[in-house]
Structure 1
Amino acid sequence: MESTMKEMRGGASVLDMDPKSTVGGGVEDVYGEDCATEDQLVTPWTYSVASGYSLLRDPHHNKGLAFTEAERDSHYLRGLLPPAVVTQQLQEKKLMSSIRKYQVPLQKYMAMMELQERNERLFYKLLIDNVEELLPVVYTPTVGEACQKYGSIFRRPQGLYISLKEKGKILDVLKNWPERSIQVIVVTDGERILGLGDLGCQGMGIPVGKLSLYTALGGVRPSACLPVTIDVGTNNEELLKNEFYIGLRQRRATGQEYADLLHEFMTAVKQNYGEKVLIQFEDFANHNAFTLLAKYGTTHLVFNDDIQGTASVVLAGVVAALKLIGGSLADHTFLFLGAGEAGTGIAELIALEMSKQTKAPVEETRKKIWLVDSKGLIVSSRKESLQHFKKPWAHEHEPVKDLLGAVKAIKPTVLIGSSGVGRTFTKEIIETLSSFNEKPLIMALSNPTSQSECTAEEAYTWSRGRAIFASGSPFDPFEYNGKVFVPGQANNAYIFPGFGLGLVISGAIRVHDDMLLAASEALAKQVSEENYDKGLIYPPFSNIRKISANIAANVAAKAYELGVATRLPRPANLVKYAESCMYSPLYRTYR
């Protein structure tokens, strides 16, 4: 093998693989990329990569100044690098120092994206080691601004762009992607990016950001991840007039034209990558999100993070909060502001868990959950005019016009915001809620921060320090009457990376609601007494890889139990197996 790399200058180099990396047994690989995330029949001991100048321009294998003297000789790097040889730790220290100097979050985002394009392993090392600091930079809230300005900051394309121009050729487009073994695809059509609306082709920032979290937090190999944007046009007039817009300059395609393009995409993905590839729908508008999930849920491995991921993370927070507010799930009354895909998705999962615990039919447990939309409380007299996904929540009650009226009439113990409209939990609403609850649970979930239904400071101040609070975007700790409150973040990043890893390591071919309940249960169990003492209902992100491994194990166990797992036999210890499958950002040794 050694001779391969010296056959020609600038030709192939050989990258060492760990000889312990065996097939089938789940033996831990020191690099963390076990056969479960490789998904191939033979794990080679070596494989070829570019050398010389090309190696330094290859983000997957470039190590910059961390190439050793011997590696510089073997791989024709002499003179192409300054003489210093540094460790990955020192590179990390230098880069974190540089990123912290930027005052503007978007500059930090751009610095991280440039690093990802230059040195992939160092990018993930930074993100894993500094997850609490960098998560808001590579994901919400900063990714929202990045999408709004994507046309202006666009440098090198990431992911696959599939537009109406590619109709009839989508399978060929997928074959243009250099990686053959894809395990997770995150796809958006850009119509409902966070709470920011239709950003068209510029929504690509979301799949790119989500997949970097699949790797950093869930340990799925970067080469197994594929970000996709389906461009069917945009109804955003500002973008259509913007000279820097990178997408199709036309109004959105709808109806049959839209359905046909999506169907061709879904068929091509299965044909090219097989039955076990996870397709995560991201930031589709309500009318398409529910339709796509229902249509492909029985034929593909599909997951909608806005409907199912949000539901799972919120249910985990509610279950954990019961330790602080008392009672069982069925003892509480829930009121939602927002009846879109997030609100109805959360409500349905809470009703399912309540049904599982009480053995009552889900039609009964739904009656403990009330939803308010833009027209007021959803009640049975409105049933005829409601969209199909709102109908199960139309209960018997006289009409109520607004949220304050609903709070007074329903007297909820839990108030959840998924409206996408900022500052809708007013002082009067929170004071009213606190008047009949010793410890009201308030979850203001809309992203980014500007769209949050209330701030942490408002929730704690207006409830006189009694509220248990969690939000979708991060808020700083707040001191009230001498006590420091640490707001929880109901961030989907707790759930989807571990959930996806669980599907991959079990070789699942379908997603089932019971898997979402299993993920919530695993997350809620990770909240410690120390976290509860601070009023937290979510564990700290610093432990996210441990949390993801536990979620993956619980989800995989459910996949085996339901008979939808294909990776047999089932590993004896699923938590250890999940950990052994996780990608590690440590540099590899070159011969």
Structure 2
Amino acid sequence: MGREYDQDTTIGNGTLRIRTRGRAVLSNPMTNRGTAFTADEREKLEIDGLMPTGFTTLENQTQRVYEQYRSNKSMLGKFLTLNALRDRNEVLFYHLVSTHLEEMLPVIYTPTIGEAIERFSHTYNRPRGVFLSIDHPEKLEQSLHNYGLGAEDVDLVCVTDSEGILGIGDQGIGGIQIAIGKLSVYTAAAGIHPRRVIPIVLDVGTDNLGLLSSELYLGERHSRVRGQRYDDFIDQFVTTVNRLFPRALIHWEDIGTANAYRILDRYKGQVCTFNDDIQGTAAVVLAALLAAVDVTGVDLDDHRIVVFGAGSAGMGIAGLIRDQMLRTGRSETEEEAYARFWPIGIQGLYLEDDHRLHEFQKPWARKRVEVSDWDVRDPGQIGLLEVIRNVRPTILIGTSTKGGAFTQEVVEEMARHNTRPIIFPLSNPTSRAEATPADILEWTDGRALVATGSPFDPVDHDGVRHTIAQSNNALIFPGLGLGVAACRATRVTEGMIAAAAEALAGLVNMWRPGAPLLPGMSDLRLVSATVAIAVAQQATDEGVAERPLTDPVQQVFERMWQPRYPDVEAI
């Protein structure tokens, strides 16, 4: 725990026992509450005269900072205002965000976080998180110690190497912002205590020449390290984190495609670890698909699925859908399940003899004989429209970051063969979405079932208002982390990921025409608690819970930190 204060962070709001006095109390964002300190607290903590004499409630403070927030016209300006507030008063920051969660989620998370990452070295102010350099592996353990948390004090470690940041690629040391943003959502949505998490960036260099050329860049100034040296650094990191914080879930974020699957496959059987881009994305998409499939009345096993942009996220989605087919459907073998998928990358349809495929992509490749009688322009690079015409898929998933790829011709071809085509343009940010919901609904005469990766306004078509489901990972990963922490799971299993998806799908009500396929962002606390209970119960069933929950609803609720000022004791 920190030297300036003590607090039991394993319960919702334990008493804050403050050792420091005077200005030091006001300079720590976890002890500072500004004008909300009572007269008695001000006297005991020796902060009389260091602020205006008026007393203000948390609610009044929230109103004041919300006005300041609204005065910023740019999204980056709003982000920086919130950052400054968090550095000043962490409880007030989370109370503001939780009060306006749907409005502020796009600011503290995607899409604004992308600009903040790009501008990190220019807007840098106060350090937050842990920066680990591959050039100084001998400092790794001490750097983690320096964060000030003990073995039992950490529920989550969110780490990135910044190679695959959102849709903007290699961003070097600026990737720390995605780890910070992700953990902010864990706290705001699921009540993970903000002092039980550690954001980390692995500085392994960057291939971004713009960053290397900038005098302001704050990271290591060399190209991105790869190969054995990279693997050794990752292994040192995982081993050290697992030894120092044995209860912590290691959340991998925005790792490059070439490494993401390798790292997850290597460590998922050894430590409690989770890749949100692979598993979180897959779970929320599966939840939306389960809701959509229910509307179509066609069993999941009978759908034909095209994944456009079949990298780590796309193949993660396909893998979880495949596993769902094997668990609950009529598919008895993996071969039968694989046969329902048609993955497409930048080189076209994945084919068995394509040497450019990564190892994790090869099992999904189609046999040459399957396409030998297709009428295509180039048999070596079969494009999306050609696949649609020949396969006549019922589900089209986009994870390509290729804006506008789902053209009118593509969408109309889907609609020609399906009463209710399922079309998910999932790429972020909005400019990279494969199509807009308005266009998809126009081109399908309102028949398509749509979920997107970015937020979109409702679409009115032929007298029906279609509320567009946002397939946002925030519907899954906060609850997953909460469930893991609540039951002290030693692993994150595929069964736990599926349980999270099924719990999320169970919250959807499609009785109204145009209803969304997923709950809204305004319901994240309810969603996260529901997902957490399902994850903890599945962990118990699979024997990976060290502390099975006896009263899941109560125990999960008690574990959720609330952004309000706790009782204060001067010690």
The TM-score, its normalising length taken from structure 2, stands at 0.94
Equivalent residue number for residue 493 of structure 2: 512
CA contact (8 A) 1:519 1:554 kept: yes
- Residue 168 of structure 2, aligned match among 196, 205, 210: 196
1:113 aligns with 2:91: no
1:11-50 correspondence runs (5 A): 32-33=12-13, 47-50=17-20
1:167 aligns with 2:129: no
Distance 1:33 1:78, change over 3 A: closer
- Residue 543 of structure 2, aligned match among 554, 563, 576: 563
1:224 aligns with 2:196: yes
The DSSP-based 3-state class of the residue aligned with 2:360 is: helix
Deviation of residue 384 (structure 1)?
Answer: 5.0
Letter in 2 for 1:410: V
Listed one character per residue, the Cα deviations across residues 373-430 of structure 1 (whole Å, up to 9, x for unaligned) are: 11211233x3555321111112232146210111111111111001122111111111
Equivalent residue number for residue 89 of structure 1: 59
For 1:16 and 1:519, how far apart are their aligned partners in 2? 31
Equivalent residue number for residue 452 of structure 2: 471
CA contact (8 A) 1:72 1:78 kept: yes
1:402 aligns with 2:383: yes
Structure 2 gaps, min length 5 = 372-378
For 1:361 and 1:51, how far apart are their aligned partners in 2? 66
Structure 1 gaps, min length 5 = 1-11, 24-28, 35-44
Letter in 2 for 1:528: N
Equivalent residue number for residue 296 of structure 1: 267
Number of matched residues?
Answer: 554
Deviation of residue 179 (structure 1)?
Answer: 2.0
Deviation of residue 287 (structure 1)?
Answer: 0.9
Of 359-368 and 555-564, the range deviating more from structure 2? 359-368
Equivalent residue number for residue 559 of structure 2: 581
The DSSP-based 3-state class of the residue aligned with 1:190 is: coil
For 2:139 and 2:86, how far apart are their aligned partners in 1? 29
Letter in 2 for 1:445: L
Letter in 2 for 1:303: F
- Residue 341 of structure 1, aligned match among 280, 290, 312: 312
Equivalent residue number for residue 285 of structure 1: 256
CA contact (8 A) 2:536 2:549 kept: no
1:378 aligns with 2:356: no
Deviation of residue 16 (structure 1)?
Answer: 8.7
Distance 1:232 1:443, change over 3 A: same
Deviation of residue 253 (structure 1)?
Answer: 0.8
1:50-69 correspondence runs (5 A): 50-69=20-39
Equivalent residue number for residue 374 of structure 2: none
- Residue 103 of structure 1, aligned match among 73, 76, 81: 73
For 1:231 and 1:442, how far apart are their aligned partners in 2? 38
Deviation of residue 126 (structure 1)?
Answer: 1.3
CA contact (8 A) 2:295 2:510 kept: no
Instruction: Please give the root-mean-square deviation of Cα atoms over the aligned residues, in Å.
Output: 1.9
Deviation of residue 316 (structure 1)?
Answer: 0.5
1:308 aligns with 2:279: yes
Deviation of residue 56 (structure 1)?
Answer: 0.9
Distance 1:346 1:13, change over 3 A: closer
1:133 aligns with 2:114: no
Deviation of residue 294 (structure 1)?
Answer: 1.1
Equivalent residue number for residue 390 of structure 1: 361
- Residue 184 of structure 1, aligned match among 156, 163, 167: 156
Listed one character per residue, the Cα deviations across residues 511-550 of structure 1 (whole Å, up to 9, x for unaligned) are: 11011110000000011346x5433000122221111111
1:507-546 correspondence runs (5 A): 507-529=488-510, 532-546=512-526
CA contact (8 A) 1:13 1:75 kept: no
For 1:364 and 1:349, how far apart are their aligned partners in 2? 15
For 1:286 and 1:121, how far apart are their aligned partners in 2? 36
- Residue 352 of structure 1, aligned match among 323, 330, 349: 323
Listed one character per residue, the Cα deviations across residues 201-226 of structure 1 (whole Å, up to 9, x for unaligned) are: 11111000000111111111111100
Equivalent residue number for residue 375 of structure 2: none
For 1:158 and 1:16, how far apart are their aligned partners in 2? 20
1:421-432 correspondence runs (5 A): 421-432=402-413
Equivalent residue number for residue 529 of structure 2: 549
CA contact (8 A) 1:131 1:541 kept: yes
- Residue 448 of structure 1, aligned match among 403, 414, 429: 429
Equivalent residue number for residue 212 of structure 1: 184
Of 451-460 and 149-158, the range deviating more from structure 2? 451-460
The DSSP-based 3-state class of the residue aligned with 1:161 is: strand
Distance 1:489 1:14, change over 3 A: closer
Listed one character per residue, the Cα deviations across residues 191-250 of structure 1 (whole Å, up to 9, x for unaligned) are: 110010110111111000000111111111111100000001100111111121111111
Letter in 1 for 2:549: P
Equivalent residue number for residue 251 of structure 1: 223
Letter in 1 for 2:409: E
Letter in 2 for 1:477: P
For 1:51 and 1:324, how far apart are their aligned partners in 2? 61
Deviation of residue 13 (structure 1)?
Answer: 8.8
Listed one character per residue, the Cα deviations across residues 50-99 of structure 1 (whole Å, up to 9, x for unaligned) are: 22211111101211111112212221121111111111111111222221
Deviation of residue 484 (structure 1)?
Answer: 2.1
The DSSP-based 3-state class of the residue aligned with 1:169 is: helix
CA contact (8 A) 1:189 1:283 kept: yes
The DSSP-based 3-state class of the residue aligned with 1:230 is: strand
CA contact (8 A) 1:16 1:590 kept: no
Listed one character per residue, the Cα deviations across residues 458-495 of structure 1 (whole Å, up to 9, x for unaligned) are: 22222222211111111122223343222110000100
Listed one character per residue, the Cα deviations across residues 438-458 of structure 1 (whole Å, up to 9, x for unaligned) are: 221111111111211112222
1:438 aligns with 2:410: no
- Residue 241 of structure 1, aligned match among 196, 208, 213: 213
For 1:493 and 1:473, how far apart are their aligned partners in 2? 12
Letter in 1 for 2:312: E
Of 446-455 and 280-289, the range deviating more from structure 2? 446-455
Letter in 2 for 1:118: R
CA contact (8 A) 1:105 1:137 kept: yes
- Residue 572 of structure 1, aligned match among 534, 543, 550: 550
For 1:577 and 1:60, how far apart are their aligned partners in 2? 24
For 1:268 and 1:201, how far apart are their aligned partners in 2? 21
Of 240-249 and 384-393, the range deviating more from structure 2? 384-393
Of 497-506 and 49-58, the range deviating more from structure 2? 49-58
For 1:14 and 1:148, how far apart are their aligned partners in 2? 35
The DSSP-based 3-state class of the residue aligned with 1:323 is: helix
Letter in 1 for 2:473: N
The DSSP-based 3-state class of the residue aligned with 2:187 is: helix
For 2:166 and 2:491, how far apart are their aligned partners in 1? 26
Equivalent residue number for residue 394 of structure 2: 413
The DSSP-based 3-state class of the residue aligned with 1:208 is: helix
1:483-502 correspondence runs (5 A): 483-502=464-483
CA contact (8 A) 2:279 2:497 kept: yes
Letter in 2 for 1:402: G
For 1:46 and 1:231, how far apart are their aligned partners in 2? 35
The DSSP-based 3-state class of the residue aligned with 2:46 is: coil
